[in-house]
Amino acid sequence: MSSHSRLAALVSAGVLATAVTVQADSVTVFSGGLLLSNGTFFDGSKTLNLGGRDLIVTAEPYNRDAVLKWVTNLVAKALTDGHGIIGDGSAQTGLAVLLNNDGSDNPLFDLFDGRKVNINTILVKQTWNGDTNLDGIINADDYFSVDSGFVSQLPGYRNGDLNYDGLINADDYFLIDSAFVGQTSTASDGSPILGIATDESAGAAVPLPASVWGGLALLAGLAVHRVARRD
């Protein structure tokens, strides 16, 4: 059974019934999880559904590779056991995760979903399986990327690892062939979820939303009140 088929089976079995659908317009990405602007925390132990929206994560040169790996692993994990990041996919569509960098420090896009992006930006798009350049369609350019990746066994979705299993093989060709035959329109741009990557290990603070700070202040106040009553 392919990874995409396993994900469909998990949906049918109700395993993803407790999936959290993103109801926020921004997230903070850091070592250990995602903090949504509505106060929801996601550490990868459950399921986060992007709800058909794209995700744009702004990173820095020092942490972009780690963030790319972390996000990619979460998308891959969801295809295996349903716990990770998913989208509103079908048999022919899924989440493509790319670094907005052509490998020579040139951006693939200057604008993505109408937002300015740079070479350190991680892009996650709901699109046809095999859309290796995120232009919303499957064509000769995508097959060229997969063929080149297959010959050199290069890593990543952009090089043809469409099911995130670390290999480029017949399973990946099955996905792109199925999407090529089944595509009915160009995968559209949408209202993106914007993310900012920080690095806990470098001492960067995680900016908590006002709702979370309010809750922490309330808890602190209750704690002081309890101590005062004991005294």
CA distance 52 to 216: 32
> How sure is the predictor about 46, in pLDDT bands with cuts at 50, 70 and 90?
confident
Q: Could you identify the residue written with the tokens 């000769």?
A: 140
pLDDT (average), residues 200-224:
40
Q: How confident is the model over 28-37, as a mean pLDDT? A: 71
The whole-number average pLDDT for the span 119-143 is 94
Average pLDDT, the chain: 77
Q: Does residue 108 contact residue 133 with C-beta atoms inside 8 Å?
A: yes
Rounded-to-integer distance, Cα 159 and Cα 169, Å: 11
pLDDT higher than threshold 60 for residue 220: no
Top-ranked range on mean pLDDT: pick from 69-73, 89-93, 164-168, 201-205: 164-168
- When pLDDT is cut at 50, 70 and 90, the band that residue 118 belongs to is very high
Share of the chain above pLDDT 70, in %: 73
Helices 64-81 and 3-12: crossing angle in degrees, nearest 10, is 60
Neighbours of 69 (CB within 10 A): 14
Q: Out of 52-66, 144-158, 194-208, which region has the weakest mean confidence (pLDDT)?
A: 194-208
* pLDDT surpasses 50 at 6: no
Q: Is residue 15 packed enough to be buried (19+ CB in 10 Å), middle (13-18) or exposed (0-12)? A: middle
- Residue for token pair 């890593």: 155
Cα gap 85→95, rounded to integer Å: 9
